[in-house]
Amino acid sequence: MIPWPIALLALLYGVVAALAAQSSWTILSGVSSRPLLVHLAWLGLSTGATVGLLFLKPWGRLLAIWTSILVMVVLLAVSGMLVLGAKEHGFGFLVAVMAAVQMLPIRYLRLPKVKALFRAGRVSEA
């Protein structure tokens, strides 16, 4: 059984993958005219991170770290746009706090015991 923080993180990336898939489908079906490449990139990153985390693959840990970094960058950009738009300063601050929360999975995945868990590829039954 995988540790619960990794399971929660995989669940988060699964939700992101589902949202990206839904956005990609609306673009492909002609309902929206946004660029498809960005949504397909999010779909690929989040699906890869979900699968890699659940199977305790070393590449899954690295992909999850990079996906968290990209989520943080996107959230900071959205926060900046909200603040510069001079409309929703409180909401912009909330989005910035959500971006800062993305550091928690990054720090967790960089712990030595978590790195060793992914190197072993399985949870030792002790």
pLDDT in tens, 47-86: 999 999 989 999 999 999 999 999 899 989 988 888 888 7
Task: State the Cα–Cα distance between residues 16 and 40, nearest whole angstrom.
Answer: 12
Helices marked H in the chain = 4-28, 36-54, 58-84, 89-101, 103-109, 112-120
What count of other Cβ atoms lies within 10 Å of the Cβ of residue 71?
A: 21
pLDDT digits (tens, 9 = 90+) for 7-30: 999 999 999 999 999 989 998 998
